[in-house]
A and B are shown apart, each in its own frame.
Chain A
C-alpha cells in the first residue's frame, strides 16, 4: 500500500499540472486571456476609467466632491436623506458612506492589470509600458484619496484575496511612500502625449493619464507630505509645458480637452457629467453662505461658476451626441496653487505671489503684492477655497492638513469632534476582516 502511494505521487507529480491544464473557457473573458491581446489589455484599464466615471466615489451623489463638500463647510443641504444629513452634520456612523469599497475596487483592478501585464508576453512594448504606467497612476490616485479619507489604510499591492482579506492598516507614511514610488515609476514610462483609444496615436482628448498627470499628482502628494522642494520640481515640469498646459478663461476650464486639463474622465453613462447633473438637476446641495461670502467682490468665478447659489462649473445636463464637458480630475489651476503654497512654505514669497496672481487674475481680481509668509499662506488657502470649491473635497482635505479644522468646523457644527475628520469603516468590513480596527471615535 505504501509503495502504491509512493508510485502515485511519482505518477502525479508536478509534470501532471500541464496535463490538467484545461486552458481558458471560450466565450468568457478571464485575466489569463485579457492580457494576451493589445485591445483587451487596453479594455481592462478602460474598465477602471469606465467604472470610475459611472459614479461611485469619483462622481455624482456618492462622489468625493459632494460627500467631502458636505462634511466640510462648502454646501448647505437641500435634502432630508438621512445619510446626507449625517454627512452634513458630521454625525456619520459606520456604514453610512463607503468610499473604501470603491477605491479598493479601483486598486484591485489596477493590481490585476499590473499582474496581468507582468505575465504577458504578447503585447506591444509601447502599449504595455503605457498601460502599466496608467495602472500605477490609478493605484496612486486611489491610495491618495483613501489616506485622506480614512487615515491609515491597508496597503494592498497584489490580488491574492487570501492575503488581502486579512491585512491590517498600514501607516499613513508608508502608504504615501508607495504612492510616490508608484508615481515615480509611472512618470518613467507614461507617454508625454495624450493618447487615443489605441494607446498609440496622439489624441486631442485628455482621457488617458500622461507622465504630466503623474507629475501633477506627485506635486500634490509632496505638498501634502511637506516635501515642498520636490513639489515645486514636479509642478514646474508640468507648468513649463505651456504649449500643452495653460490657464484658460473661466468659462472654458471644464469643457472637454481644455488646455487647463491635466487629466479628464469621459462621462460614459450619460453624455453629460454626473457632477453637472448633481448640482443642476438633482440640486441636493447648494453653496453654503460662508462659501458664497468667501468670494471677494468682483470675483468673476461667482458669476461664471455658480448659478443661483448652486455650483455651476459643469454646465451641460442634456444628452448630446458629443459630450461638451468631461469630468476634470486634475487641472492647471490647482497646480498653480500647489506651486504657490510650496513656494510660500519655502519662503519664496515672490514666487508664491506670482503663482497666486495667475489664478486671481483669471478671476478678475487684483493681484496680491506683498505680505508675510503667514498672510500669503492664508491668501493661498482662501484662493484654494474659491478656486477649487465643489471639486474633489479639496476644501475638506485642506482643512485637515491646515490644522485649523476644529475651529472652522465648530463654526459650522457645534457638536464637532476632532475624530470626525476621518470617515468610519463599515461594520461589514470590520466583520469580514477581523484585523481591521475602526477609526477611533466611531
Chain B
C-alpha cells in the first residue's frame, strides 16, 4: 500500500523537477524565434495570411511582389504553430526561403538550407499534429455551443480527439474505455473484461442516493441509450449491459466531457450527472482519400490466483474434516475417497488461460469539392475468448457522412448514419466460476465422451449456450440556413434504434446420458428494442458592438424514446435438434414490457466577450419530462459562467513575461436528474389469489403525482496558467455540488393504504473536490521531444442530511459518503475456538452467532485518482504511454463467497495463510472447516476483513509507432505500430483485478497487437 500514495506524488514531483531541469526559462528554444501563429482560414490569399502574421508578430514581412504571387489561394490552419514552421509550410514548396531578424522577415527565392529543412522535416514527421500542449484554440463543446478552450467559460474536457489516423487513438472495445484516465473528475469502473459488460461511470461523484449516475450521452446530437436493461437476459453481461459497446470507436472523431453548471445547465433535467458529447467522423474536402487500418493481436487474463496444488488441497481437506470431527465418506468427501488423489488439473489455465485472438479492420474513404463532401467508413472485427471452446464476438459496421453547401452558400445540409452490429456466441455463465474446482477432479472426457459423473465445467461447452445479436443504428440530419451574416437557423433531426435479440439454449445434452431419458430441453428467447428520436430547431445570432462580441442561441428540443423487452421461454423440447422450431416445444410462456419516454424543452444561451478578455455566458432551459409526476413535470434550470483571460492585461503582460497564458473561471448553476425510471409516478397492480375463479388485482404501489427531478447545484472555480510560452500548463479546479430533492422510498402512515412511496425527500448530498492537471513539454530538440500530462482528482462525498433517517436505514448514515458500506467489525480469530470473532458494537468481542451490529463503515469511493501520460518522439518514432491510478478501498476477491476454506473448493494461498492451528498462536484466518464454522466465515465476508486496499497503478495503454516513409511509398500518411492495453498493474490487491473486484466476472484482459495504417 505504502508505495502508492507517495508513489504517485513522487511521480508528480519528479516531473516538476525534470521540467525545471530541462526546459526552464533559461533555455533558448533551439533555433526558433518563439513566435506562435494561430490562423484558421480556408481559401484565402497568401497576402491575407502574411498580413495576419505581421499583425500577430509585429514583424514586417519583406518580399518581392514580382516573384511571389501573393494572390494565390491557400488554406491556413495553424494553431499556435511556431512561426518558422508556418513559413516552411507556406514557402518551401513554392521555392522560397526566409530569414528572421529583430525587425522582420525577409523572403526571397532560393534553396532551403539545412536549418530551414529541419523545420520542413518536423512538418513531415507530423510532430505538429500532436502538439504537446493543450491547444488553446482547440474546439470544444459547451452545451450546444462550439467554442474554444481559450474562450470557454465552462468546464469541458476534450477527452478524445482523433483527427486523421493515429494509432494511439485506435482503441477497440467500449468507447467509454477511452475516457479512463485523461478526464479529471470522471471515474469509470468496469464490471468485467467481456465486451458488453456493464460500465459504471460517475462524473464528479455520486449525486444520487438511488438513481443512476450515468451521464447524458449525446451522439451527433442524439441522446442515446447507455444501458441495455436486463442485459438481453445474459448472465455473462449482467443485468445492465453497456449499450455503448455498440458504437464503433473507429467512427468517433471526438468526445467531449461536460461537467460544470455553465456547460451542463442547458441540458436541464438531464445535465446533473454531466454530459458526454460524442461526434462521429465527418467528411473532409479534397481529393478522395482512402485510409486503411488493420490490426491483430491476442488478449489474455493478466493475473492469476495462487491456487493450491493437489497435495496442498488434500491436506487442507483432511485437516478440515479432522477439525470438524467428521469422518470422510463418499458423500461428503468424494475428492478424498472416490477421486484419484494423484490427478492435478490447473483449472485456471484450462478455463480462462487461453489467449483470445482478435482482428480489427477499418477503412475510410473521404473527399469532396467545395460544395459536396462525403465520408464512407467500414469496419470488421472479431474477438475470440479466453475460454475453452469456439466462443467469439464478431461485428461489422458502416459509417456514412455527407454534407453539401460551400462556405459562401446560405444553405448547408449534412447528415450522418452509422450502423454497427455484434454477433456474440458465448457460454451462458462465465467459466471463471469453475476455476476453484478441486485440483484432483476426475477427467473431463473419457474416451472423448464428456464425463457427467461430476460437476464438469466442460458441460458448459454443450450448454447452456448464449447467442446474441445486437444492432445499433443512429443517424442525424442537419439543415442550416444563413439568413444574414451572424443570423442562422438550424434544424437537427436525429434517431437511434438499438435492437438486440438473444437465445439461451439448455439442451438435453447437458444431462448425463444415464438419466437423460424423459428429460427435456428448453430455450429462452429475449428481444430488446430501444429507440429514440429527437428534433431540435435552433436560431443562432452573433454580432459585435465595438469591442463587445455577442452570441445568442435559442432552441427547442423534442425527444421521444421507447424501450421494449420481450422474454419467451419455450420448454419441453424432446430432442436437441429442433430448438429453432417452436412447434417442438411443449409449452411457451412469455412476458413483455414496453415504456415510452417523452421530453420537451426550450432553451437559450447568450455569451458576451469583451475585448477577448472578459467572458460571460448565461444559459437557461425549461423542460418537461414524462418520467415525472403530473404536478412536477416542468422545471427551469439555469447557469452562469464567467471568465477573465488576465494574461492579456497590459500590467501582467508587460511585467510577468514568464506567464504565457492565464485565465480564471467561475460558474454556478442548477441542473436536474430525471433518471428516476419510467412510470415511477404511476401506481401499479399485481395479481393476487383469484376470487370467485376470476382474476384479482391488488395495488402494490402508490401513484405519486409529485415525483420530481433530483436537483444539483454546481459551483466551480478554476484557474488555468501557462508558463514559458506554454511549455508548462497548469490548471486547477475546485467544484462544489449540492444535490437535493433526492428520490427515495420514504415511509407514509399506513392509513394512506400503502405505507411507503418513492418520492423526493430533502436529503442533501455534497460532492466537492479538486481537479488538477499539468501539461509539460519536458524536452524538445530537433529530433526528439518528450511531453507529459499528469492529472489528479481528489473527490469528496458526504450525505449532509437525510430527514427521517432511522435505525432501519443503517446502511446510510448522515455524515458518511454515499455508497459507504456498513460492516461488522472483525476482532480476528479467537485463540481458543479458532473461529472468527467480532465486535458487538458495544466494545465486547463476541462469536458470529451473537446478535452483531454493523458498527464499522467502509468508504468505497476513491480517495484520489488520475492518470499520467507520456509522449516521446524521436524522428519517425513515437511512443505513447498512459497510466491510470486509483487510491481506494474495495471488496477483496480472495475469499469464496460460498465455500469456506476446508470445503470442497480450491482456495487461494493467501486466503488460508496464517490459518488457526490449535497452538494458541494468534492466527490470521479461522480454522479450516467443512461446514461447522461456516457461519463465522460468512459473517467475516460481511466484516471489514473482506474490504481491502484496491488501489492500483495500471499501464492502461502503450503504443509504439513508426511513421512510414511517405514519399518513398507514395502515401499520404501511414504508420506501423505495436500496442498493448493493460500491460501491467501494480497493486497490493491479491486477487485478479482491483478494478472489477470480482471473482465471478472475467477480469480486464491484457492485450498485445500489431497493426498498420495507411492513407492514400
Q: Tell whether A4 pairs with B604 under 8 Å between CB atoms, given A105-B753, A432-B747.
A: yes
Nearest chain-A residue to B566 (Cβ)?
A27
Q: Tell whether A20 pairs with B624 under 8 Å between CB atoms, given A25-B678, A208-B692, A432-B748.
A: yes
* Docked pose: A47 CA to B685 CA in angstroms: 9
* Docked pose: A21 CA to B596 CA in angstroms: 9
B599-636 interface with A by 8 A CB criterion: 599-604, 606, 618, 620, 622-627, 630, 633-634, 636
A16 with B702: CB separation less than 8 A: no
B694 with A42: CB separation less than 8 A: yes
B695 with A112: CB separation less than 8 A: no
A43 with B750: CB separation less than 8 A: no
Partner of A22, one of B604, B679, B755: B679
Give residues in A with beta carbon < 8 Å to B. Answer: 1, 4-5, 7-9, 11-12, 16-17, 19-32, 34, 39-40, 42-44, 46-51, 53-54, 98, 100-101, 104-105, 107-109, 111-112, 154, 156, 159, 161-162, 164-165, 167, 196-198, 203, 205, 207-208, 266, 268-269, 426, 428-429, 432-433, 436
Partner of B749, one of A1, A17, A112, A432: A432
New A-B pairs, 9, CB < 8 Å, besides A20-B600, A105-B754: A22-B595, A22-B597, A22-B626, A34-B685, A39-B695, A108-B754, A161-B752, A197-B692, A203-B692
* Docked pose: A40 CA to B706 CA in angstroms: 26
A50 with B690: CB separation less than 8 A: yes
Could you list some 7 contacts between A and B, CB below 8 A? A4-B604, A19-B558, A19-B598, A24-B682, A40-B695, A159-B702, A429-B750
**Nearest CB in chain A: distance from B688 CB, A:** 5
Contacts of B696 in A (CB 8 A): 43, 46-47, 49-50, 268
Indicate if B592 sits at the interface (CB-CB under 8 A): yes
Give residues in B with beta carbon < 8 Å to A. Answer: 554, 556, 558, 564, 591-604, 606, 618, 620, 622-627, 630, 633-634, 636, 678-679, 682-686, 688-699, 702-704, 706, 747-755, 757
Contacts of A203 in B (CB 8 A): 692
B751 with A50: CB separation less than 8 A: no
A11 with B556: CB separation less than 8 A: yes
* Docked pose: A235 CA to B598 CA in angstroms: 56
A54 with B689: CB separation less than 8 A: yes
A22 with B602: CB separation less than 8 A: no
A53 with B691: CB separation less than 8 A: yes
Contacts of B685 in A (CB 8 A): 29-31, 34, 44, 47
Nearest chain-A residue to B685 (Cβ)?
A29
Contacts of B690 in A (CB 8 A): 46, 50, 268
Report the number of A-B residue pairs with Cβ-Cβ less than 8 Å.
Answer: 218
Most interface-central of A29, A47, A197, A198 (chain B CB within 10 A): A47
A161 with B688: CB separation less than 8 A: no
B691 with A164: CB separation less than 8 A: no
B750 with A17: CB separation less than 8 A: no
A159 with B703: CB separation less than 8 A: yes
Contacts of B678 in A (CB 8 A): 22, 25
Q: Tell whether A26 pairs with B594 under 8 Å between CB atoms, given A42-B694, A51-B688, A197-B693.
A: yes
A8 with B595: CB separation less than 8 A: no
Q: Tell whether A16 pairs with B624 under 8 Å between CB atoms, given A25-B678, A50-B689.
A: yes
A197 with B598: CB separation less than 8 A: no
A109 with B682: CB separation less than 8 A: no
* Docked pose: A266 CA to B694 CA in angstroms: 12
Contacts of A268 in B (CB 8 A): 688-691, 696
B753 with A31: CB separation less than 8 A: no
**Nearest CB in chain A: distance from B724 CB, A:** 42
**Nearest CB in chain A: distance from B797 CB, A:** 29
**Nearest CB in chain A: distance from B555 CB, A:** 11
A433 with B751: CB separation less than 8 A: yes
Partner of A428, one of B684, B695, B747: B747
Most interface-central of B603, B684, B689, B749 (chain A CB within 10 A): B749
B688 with A4: CB separation less than 8 A: no
Contacts of A101 in B (CB 8 A): 750-751, 755
A269 with B684: CB separation less than 8 A: no
B600 with A12: CB separation less than 8 A: yes
* Docked pose: A203 CA to B692 CA in angstroms: 10
A12 with B634: CB separation less than 8 A: yes
B592 with A161: CB separation less than 8 A: no
B683 with A44: CB separation less than 8 A: no
Q: Tell whether A165 pairs with B749 under 8 Å between CB atoms, given A49-B691, A108-B754.
A: yes
Partner of B593, one of A11, A26, A105, A269: A26
* Docked pose: A24 CA to B684 CA in angstroms: 11
* Docked pose: A111 CA to B702 CA in angstroms: 13
* Docked pose: A47 CA to B604 CA in angstroms: 50
* Docked pose: A269 CA to B623 CA in angstroms: 48
